[in-house]
Each structure stands twice: as structure tokens, then as C-alpha cells.
Structure 1
Amino acid sequence: MNETEYEVIIIGGSYSGLSAAMALGRSLRKTLVIDSGKPCNEQTPHSHNFLTQDGKTPKEISESAKKQVSEYETVHLQEGKAIDAKKSESGFEITTENGEKFHSKKLIIATGIVDEIPEIKGFKESWGIPLIHCPYCHGYEYKGKKTAIIANGDKAVHISSLVKNLTEDVTLITRGKANFTDEQREKLNRNKIHIIETEVSELKNYSGMAESIVFSDGTEIKFEAVYGAFPFHQHSEIPKKLGCEFTEFGHIKTDQFQKTNVPGVFVCGDNSSMMRSVSSAVMTGNVAGAMVNMELVTDCF
């Protein structure tokens, strides 16, 4: 093999991609990890609910992971952005933004997703800090606080049920007409969850802490914690270009071993799971790495 040929290429070098790389490195597989350095949680100050790493910054965890993975001599980490992938006679041809081409027998896509944050003052700069997405990742730190949830429909009811376990003071902000069934409304009412249908015009925060929400009618309400549930899209177009199937929610469809419908293509992390946490990303990456190694073994043994 030359320096452009690998047994496995991993697109995406955050938690799931690095986890897959470690599994492959420990199996002596010549592996290339291509990473653009744009993790979706780069603004998040602390990561939680990951045993042995609880409370560390996302950067601390990823830097430690990179250091450990780089010690495996068959794994190469490369900065860059993969922009295209094609099936080839031997497997796959990957093209990066600067025109480099690499080849591999198997492909793991760990590119994550991009949250579509509304163009509302204070939202983008607050995302992942005072405007949070996951009760499991950050809810404990805001237990007992006056809490707002910016969401509508089924997602709003789901998050409300989780947050209600952490605090009694919950307000649901639907940013327009509430979209709930009669049964859902009854549940929300029974749990004393107040609903505000007015559009939001600004989220104010001070030193990384939620301060208040300003509504389009000029009303301003103080909150100590704010959750947001927003749409997302895939960070990379490569899965679509290769013909990967997607779920109704927009995740890449896999079997229990992180394998897609495209032979030789595996995916892991946020791009294929509703469980958005570092621990889940690491787990799915480990599974993908092990299963790719198993395919390589089966191909030649």
C-alpha cells in the first residue's frame, strides 16, 4: 500500500470516528481519519453523563482521544474536509477539499449533524451553553430551576416529560400555535406545564447563563434554564451521494452493527442515532470499528 491507500477510511474525527479508529488500530488495520475540526458541540462548556469523563470539556475529551489513538502506528490522523466519495473497483475513492484523493476497502462515516438554529437574536451564540438540547447531558446542572422549553409537537411533550422529573417549574414555548393532541394537552395540563404560543424575539444571557426570554409582543420572562429542540441536517452530503438510506427523522439508517444498506459503508455517532451524547458516540464508533475489522477478516480468511 502507498500513502493514499488504506484498508479503512474514517470521515470525521470526533468521538465516534476516533473510537472506531482505536478499534481498528488495535486490530492493526491501516486506517486514515479525515477530520475538518468542526464538532457540533464545540461551544458546549462541559460534557456530562460519560463515566470517567463527567464534567470535562468536549475539547479535553477529544484531545485526549486523539493523543491515545495517534499512538497506534497503523492509524493516521489528517486535517481536512472530505467532499466526495465514489465506489471504486477496490472499494472507495475519497476526495478532500484541497483535491487529495485516498482509497480504501471499507468506509466509516462519522460526520455528525448540523443543528438548524432559528435566526433569533441570542440563539446561535447561546446554543450548547445556556440554550441546551439534552436533559441527560445537562439537566442535572439545572435541577430545580425555572425552566423554559422551546419546542412544539411530539418533541415538546417528550422533552417536557424528562425535564419535569428535574424541576417543577416548566414553561413550554411553542413559538406559534401549539400542535398537541387532546391527550397530550391533558398530560401537559395535569403536570402543570404552562404553554406560551407567542413567537420569541430574543434570548438574553449573562456570562453563559440564561437570563430571560423576550417575546414578539414585548413581554419578557426570566428563566434560569432553557432547552431547545430544533431541526437538523446531515453535516456531510457523502452518505446521500453513496446511496445510503435515511430514517423518517433524517438519520442514516443502519442495522444493529452500524452497517448501512451500501456494502462496505458503516456509520456511527450523531448522524445515525437519536441518542446525542459523547458516550453513545463512543459506543457506536467502537461497534463500527469492530464490525469493519470483522468484514475485512471475513474477506480474506
Structure 2
Amino acid sequence: MNLDCAIIGGGPAGLNAALVLGRSRRVVIVFDHNKPRNAVTHESHGFITRDGIEPRELRRLAHADIAQYPSVTIKPDKVTEVQRSEMGFHLMTSNGVIYHARTLILAAGLKESLPAIPGIRDFYGRSLFSCPYCDGWELRDQPLVVISEGSNIFNLAKTVFNWSRNVVVCTNGMNSLSSQQIGQLGQRGIQVTQQKIKALHGENGRLHRIVFANNTEIERTGGFVTPSWGQAAHFGEALGCAMTQAGGFVTDDYGRTSIRGIYAAGDSSIIVPAQLVVAAGEGSKAAIGVNTDLSHQDFGF
């Protein structure tokens, strides 16, 4: 099948790109093997008219919107290989089917690695989250923890303080805060512990207390943790797309990467998880970039 665009990834960025391209009468396939990064998420927030929606329901509604446009197909298949061709790109899937596309949108998003803390997966997505803008409201005024081993911990702690004045910062054994930063947090009543976390305790995904390596304990009901991020798929790198120092794709305002015909949208280009509305907007811009460039090609430019 000859496609105007192949979209790898069926999250908000990929689906919104498909919607805009469908409305532009472009022949498109979205490849989505249904392995979303936010599979642990029970509610999604910050998306106007859809605040608090279950991700599965948002996905269902998006598929229903796209179904109105007959030139768009959503394939529950995984792309395993992408190669350049004279006319664009060859894509092979896990089912052994080969597709040909003039352009390619990379929207597979990110994969995440949580700090190596025993039991942390039991609470992630239930009472420990990565984004205060997505889940801070639900944790407001509770005794919270901020867990991070990286240099962003100072800014994250200041941000979380907006939702709760009862915050403890844990570096999990890392020296990621300067003495000046510790002092500034202390002036706001934010306790800092650099002890390694021994265990997290709670039930049904709800955090109750944190035990440190020196066997001291604190009671917390939730909080925020910083995972490390990487590309969920490496097609862009393999095809030679320029990358930022953080590991995202270098793009212009319309998702164009450094390789002609390849576009990136959503978390793949930002390299930090964006709110749904931001990721969807990135998908829309990439779709406009694709349609604009294909229109120029069709007129011989």
C-alpha cells in the first residue's frame, strides 16, 4: 500500500496527527501495538473537556473521531524496521507486512525507568506520579514526598510546594542538592533527606510510609518521582535524525527533523512527558508540516 504518511505510535500525538491528516484527505496508517507508557494511569488531567478521563476512554473517543475519515487506518501492529527508499520509506511490521510511505511521523513516545527502589512500581500511577501538573490537584494538602536522583529535584520540589506545604525531598543517596539549595528548601519548611530509600510501604497502591537505609521512617500519602527517559523506538536515530543532548529529536516548529520526510511529535521530540493537550498539539503541528511539504512536492517544488 502506498501511503502519504505512516505514523508510528498511537498516543495523543500520533492520533491527533492522523486526525488532521485525515481531514486533509491524506492516506495515512497509524501503527499502534497498544503498549502505552501511561498504562498505569487511571485518570488523565489537564485536557479541556476531558479532565479526569480514563486513558482507555480517551483512546476510544479518538478512534471514533478518526473513523469518520476513510483515508486513515489504525493498525494494531508493531513496526520492526524502517528503511529509506527513493519514494520515501519502507516499513516492515511484526506480521511481516511491508508498507510504503512518502513521509514518516515518529510518535512512539518514551520508555521510562524508575529509580531502583524496592516496591516503587506498586505505587507508581496510584499515589506516586511523575507530573505535578497532571496529578498535583488530586494530592493537594497531603503529606508528600519528592523522590529524584537527578539535578531537577530542586525545581520539582519548588513546584510541588504549590500543592502542599508538607513536603519531604528524598535524593535516594545521591548528592544532587547543593548546601545552598538545601538551605533554601529548609527556609520553606521542606525537609531534605539524602539517605537511600530501603522500602516503601502501603496497600492497594496507596503509599503510607517510607523506610530509609538507617531504619528511620516517615509517613507520606503520595508524591512525585522522577524517572529517567529514553526513546521507545529508535528508528529516528537509525535513520540519522539529529538528536538533542537530552535525547529528543531536533525539530522545527512543524515537527520536521533533520532528515527530509521524517517528522517527530509529542514526547519523542520533547524527551519529557508532556500533558496530553501538549502532545496532541505537537501531533497537529507535525501533520500540518507533512501536508504542507507534500503539497509543495505535488506541485513540483
TM-score range relative to shorter protein: over 0.9
Cα distance in 2 for residues equivalent to 1:125 and 1:98: 34
The reply on whether 1:293 has 2:281 as its aligned counterpart is no
Counterpart residue number, 1:215: 212
Counterpart residue number, 2:46: 49
Aligned length: 298
Paired letter, 1:40: R
- 1:244-287 residue CA offsets vs partner (Å, 9 max, x unmatched): 12212222221121111111110111111135211111110011
Larger CA deviation: 221-230 vs 117-126: 117-126
Does the residue aligned with 1:186 lie in a helix, a strand or coil? Answer: helix
Counterpart residue number, 1:26: 23
The reply on whether 1:234 has 2:231 as its aligned counterpart is yes
Counterpart residue number, 1:177: 174
Cα distance in 1 for residues equivalent to 2:143 and 2:217: 14
Counterpart residue number, 1:100: 97
Counterpart residue number, 1:158: 155
Paired letter, 2:246: F
Preserved CA contact (<8 Å) 1:147 1:170: yes
- What is the CA distance between 1:219 and its match in structure 2? 2.6
Larger CA deviation: 176-185 vs 83-92: 176-185
Counterpart residue number, 1:279: 277
Does the residue aligned with 2:136 lie in a helix, a strand or coil? Answer: helix
Larger CA deviation: 186-195 vs 239-248: 186-195
Preserved CA contact (<8 Å) 2:14 2:283: yes
- What is the CA distance between 1:215 and its match in structure 2? 1.9
Does the residue aligned with 2:255 lie in a helix, a strand or coil? Answer: coil
Counterpart residue number, 1:129: 126
Counterpart residue number, 1:69: 66
Cα distance in 2 for residues equivalent to 1:87 and 1:108: 14
Preserved CA contact (<8 Å) 1:210 1:224: yes
Counterpart residue number, 2:264: 267
Cα distance in 2 for residues equivalent to 1:269 and 1:51: 18
Preserved CA contact (<8 Å) 2:106 2:265: yes
- 1:22-41 residue CA offsets vs partner (Å, 9 max, x unmatched): 00000110001111101111
Counterpart residue number, 2:14: 17
Paired letter, 1:296: L
- What is the CA distance between 1:153 and its match in structure 2? 4.3
Cα distance in 2 for residues equivalent to 1:116 and 1:200: 17
Does the residue aligned with 2:287 lie in a helix, a strand or coil? Answer: helix
Cα distance in 2 for residues equivalent to 1:69 and 1:162: 36
What TM-score, normalized to structure 1? 0.95
Does the residue aligned with 1:154 lie in a helix, a strand or coil? Answer: coil
Counterpart residue number, 1:198: 195
The reply on whether 1:253 has 2:234 as its aligned counterpart is no
Paired letter, 1:28: R
Cα distance in 2 for residues equivalent to 1:230 and 1:134: 10
Say if 1:44 and 1:275 are closer, same or farther in 2 by CA, change over 3 A. Answer: closer
Cα distance in 2 for residues equivalent to 1:115 and 1:177: 19
Does the residue aligned with 1:105 lie in a helix, a strand or coil? Answer: strand
Does the residue aligned with 1:252 lie in a helix, a strand or coil? Answer: coil
Paired letter, 2:172: R
Cα distance in 2 for residues equivalent to 1:182 and 1:272: 34
Cα distance in 2 for residues equivalent to 1:242 and 1:177: 36
Paired letter, 2:33: S
- What is the CA distance between 1:180 and its match in structure 2? 2.2
Q: Aligned to 1:140, which of 137, 140, 147? A: 137
Paired letter, 1:272: S
Preserved CA contact (<8 Å) 1:130 1:205: no
Paired letter, 2:119: G
Cα distance in 1 for residues equivalent to 2:269 and 2:198: 32
Cα distance in 2 for residues equivalent to 1:279 and 1:126: 25
- What is the CA distance between 1:182 and its match in structure 2? 4.3
- 1:145-198 residue CA offsets vs partner (Å, 9 max, x unmatched): 101000144310111111111111111100113222344233222222211111
Does the residue aligned with 2:152 lie in a helix, a strand or coil? Answer: helix
Q: Percent identity?
A: 31
Cα distance in 1 for residues equivalent to 2:192 and 2:87: 57
